[in-house]
Amino acid sequence: MAYSLVANIGAGLGVNGGTTGSINTTGADLIVVNVVGADVSLSLSDSKGNTYTPLTAQSRNSLISQLFYVQAPTVGSGHTFTVSASSIFAAIQVTAWSGSAASPFDVETGATGVSITSLQTGSLTPGQDNELLVTGLLFDHSNTVSIDLGFTISDQNNLNPGNSYGGAMAYLVETSAAAKNPNWSWSTGGTGCAPIAAFKAVAAAGPTLWSMSCL
């Protein structure tokens, strides 16, 4: 079964975090979240009471981009997402998916840089075919960002000075497992932080075997 995007949302949340607008996540079995902002202690929650597993934060110059996920979440209409922290200047990007394995997390890596106009995430090789690759990005400038290797940007929230840092999320469903090292790019030098993770898909159903006996 291939991954399918059910819903997505992005938002600049504010100095002390905040709450997104609502989306309908009905049918999703995996939610992946990217939180960007100042490197401070934060809490991620949602209106359905789900508990998120944090992956490794990519941090540089006291700024972070960090991926979180939950498998088999409670889903439905009116689904909102909240980041709580002091002086975080947060932005968030959320994608909800169907098609995940029961234990979906596979591998992760990431990269950071300063005074740069592009940033590769670091090479990542999924262990299986049909995995979902998700990468996040923090950027401390107001330019539109892009990404290569066939990744699709789900949401981008530009820098809002005094309110929130810039953030983006992109994804690729990789039919055949192979190493990927996507490159985020922009036009004005600044700080970048970019995690990437791969999530396993539910196994496709095998053929049904019928037996016949002769009388």
Which pTM was predicted? 0.94
For residue 174, CA distances in Å to 3, 36, 122, 128, 163 come to 10, 25, 16, 9, 35
C-alpha angle 38/40/44, rounded to 5°?
Answer: 95
Token digits of residue 97: 């998916």
Closest to 44 in 3D by CA, of 65, 17, 21, 24: 17
Instruction: Please report, as a single letter, which amino acid is at residue 113.
Output: G
Does residue 24 surpass a pLDDT of 50? yes
pLDDT digits over 119-135, tens only?
Answer: 999 999 999 999 999 99
Place of tokens 């909102």: 80
Bigger pLDDT: 215 or 167?
167
pLDDT digits over 75-106, tens only?
Answer: 999 999 999 999 999 999 999 999 999 999 99
Beta bridge partners of 105: 199
Instruction: Please report, as a single letter, which amino acid is at residue 134.
Output: V
Q: Return d(Cα 93, Cα 110) in angstroms, integer.
A: 17
